[in-house]
Amino acid sequence: MQNLFRVVSQSEPVSITTQNGGTLQKSTVVLQEVNGKYGDCYMASLLGNQITLFPNEYVWAALRFSVKEYNGANYQDITIQDITSLSSH
């Protein structure tokens, strides 16, 4: 899914350990679709090189949705594949 979004919030990045033993930076970004006052919101993971996003900033982002099964339960992940800020700071 590629769309225009408004940034609602971004968490502070944390270091996580990958499956192959490396480390990676991860933050959580809440994005709201720009289609009226009540556009859908998505909470997505931003992995790797971190950029600082500000509330109410507009971004063009591509989101990847995936579902994993673990111990009989399904879990959905949303990952930001690509993000471009439309603001200059």
Judge contact between 30 and 41, C-beta under 8 A. yes
Q: What angle do CA 59, 61, 66 make, to 5 degrees?
A: 145
What the block records as the tokens of 57 is 């900033």
pLDDT at position 3: 94
Contact partners, residue 64, CB within 8 Å, separation at least 6: 78, 79, 80, 81
pLDDT of residue 79: 96
* pTM, two decimal places: 0.87
Mean pLDDT by 10 residues, the chain (89 residues): 94 92 95 88 94 95 96 96 87
Domain 2-85 falls under CATH 3.40.50 = no
Q: What is the pLDDT of residue 37?
A: 75
Question: What was the pLDDT predicted at 87?
Answer: 84
Beta-bridge mates of residue 85: 59
How far, in whole angstroms, is CA 27 from its chain's centroid? 8
